[in-house]
Structure 1
Amino acid sequence: MSQPVLSLQDVTIYQDNNAVLTNISLEVNHGEFIYIIGKTGTGKSSFMKTLYGDLPLKQGKGTFVDYDLAKLRERDIPYLRRKIGIVFQDFKLLPDRNVFDNLLFVLKATGWSEKREMEVKINEVLDKVGMKTAVHKMPHQVSGGEQQRIAVARALLNDPEVIIADEPTGNLDPQTSVEVMQLLREINQNGKTIIMATHDYALLMKFPSKTLKCDGGTLFEVVQRTV
């Protein structure tokens, strides 16, 4: 039996010195699709940030993609992040360079150097998300949904074990949200683990999966009602 991709035991998540989520014990296995839901301010983003090393794990035990979160050092964080892909609500594409150069920037920052290999990889991930024709466009020349597809392509560059998606449909209209969700589900069906924070309950009904809720200062599994 392979190790869980994420394991937390008696974890308390802190934002500054305030405990925002307490007493979390959780395992996520390879290939799972997990939703994290909850109102604004209940700790969804703090939970995500703890996973990718933006917030330190001060209390409890946690391992994520084989890294001990409680012992994570500053110099480990870039290596942890190479094993995960992160998709944000606001796309975070660099506005001053085209799609190709946005993805090239990430590859160079994570240690790639061979020009031909980088070109092949960029075309491969853009093809996966249906955005190969946008390779020379600037971010402002494509729609919000297309920008988010490009952001998903960027998250796939280093063939990550896990994709963390923090409100990836938050800035998109309902139809585009469904398209981005279909893309994420397809990536999940091809074996990637996805942990997605969302407040879009319509998507949960349309694409049901294991759901964890931040509420009352903790995180717990909820069973979705099926209509």
Structure 2
Amino acid sequence: MSETVLELKNAAIYQRESLILSEVDVHINKGDFVYLIGKTGTGKSSFMKTLYGDLPLQEGEGSIVDYNLRTLKEKDIPFLRRKLGVVFQDFKLLNDRTIRGNLEFVLKATGWKDKKGMDSKIDEVLDKVGMKTKAFKFPYQLSGGEQQRVAIARALLNDPELILADEPTGNLDPQTSVEVMEVLQDINKNGNTILMATHDYALLLKYPSKTLKCDGQKVFEVVQKKQTT
């Protein structure tokens, strides 16, 4: 297993015929925590969608968790997504089943059969995000922050090599955002690689890390200014 989890070289990202980002060069190693920032409409979501196979990579080179994004076939996408954990802004939990039911649904959909194995995996990921006692609840009985923790637990189910978090604090108040961020930081310290799209600059100051910015159809690394006290 290479140390490189994600690499794009001279890649161009399109949404249908429109060029969204060009000459993209990005390198993420195992264990990194990387922010992707930029104003709304600068291509953060298109960038993320390209990484999990929602948009095809039409130009340049790209590899993610040992999959070649240029030659990625439709039938490979579910397998690629098993190696990725994707966390969305709007949680995407199923309201007709409990938290445990939500996680079980994902495990079954990704080929798990053993009930005991599934139960212990669910307990393990809920424990990691501090939600073990809420497994019997339905998503609508939880606060936004709790729902996002569950969404992070769901992303961890198949031990992903890379977690793509697309504005995971976008719908949360500042205090809850910090709590969710703490969960992501802990997961990162345990060795999970995370790429997080965000426009929450307060979080960047509080938890500085490598930062990529989308602007003017380009993606470039920005060096964060240290806060002067």
Taking structure 1 as the reference length, the TM-score comes to: 0.99
Unaligned runs of 5+ residues in structure 1 are: none
Map of 1:33-44 to 2, 5 A cutoff? Answer: 33-44=33-44
Following the alignment from structure 1 to structure 2, what is the Cα–Cα distance between the partners of residues 41 and 16?
15
Following the alignment from structure 1 to structure 2, what is the Cα–Cα distance between the partners of residues 159 and 6?
16
Which residue type is aligned with residue 164 of structure 2? I
Identify the residue that residue 133 of structure 1 maps to in structure 2.
133
Map of 1:43-58 to 2, 5 A cutoff? Answer: 43-58=43-58
Following the alignment from structure 1 to structure 2, what is the Cα–Cα distance between the partners of residues 212 and 115?
41
Following the alignment from structure 1 to structure 2, what is the Cα–Cα distance between the partners of residues 199 and 51?
19
Identify the residue that residue 180 of structure 1 maps to in structure 2.
180
Shift of 1:2: 3.5
- Equivalent residue of 2:30, what SS? coil
Identify the residue that residue 204 of structure 1 maps to in structure 2.
204
Moved over 3 A (4+): none
Identify the residue that residue 169 of structure 1 maps to in structure 2.
169
Identify the residue that residue 13 of structure 1 maps to in structure 2.
13
Identify the residue that residue 98 of structure 1 maps to in structure 2.
98
**Post-superposition CA distance 1:85-115 (Å, at most 9, x none):** 0100000000111101100110011110111
Which residue type is aligned with residue 118 of structure 1? M
CA RMSD of aligned residues (A): 0.9
Following the alignment from structure 2 to structure 1, what is the Cα–Cα distance between the partners of residues 86 and 36?
15
Which residue type is aligned with residue 31 of structure 1? G
Identify the residue that residue 108 of structure 1 maps to in structure 2.
108
Following the alignment from structure 1 to structure 2, what is the Cα–Cα distance between the partners of residues 118 and 24?
39
Which residue type is aligned with residue 223 of structure 1? V
How many residues get paired?
Answer: 227
Following the alignment from structure 2 to structure 1, what is the Cα–Cα distance between the partners of residues 199 and 3?
29
Which residue type is aligned with residue 111 of structure 1? G
Identify the residue that residue 225 of structure 1 maps to in structure 2.
225
Following the alignment from structure 1 to structure 2, what is the Cα–Cα distance between the partners of residues 120 and 4?
30
Unaligned runs of 5+ residues in structure 2 are: none
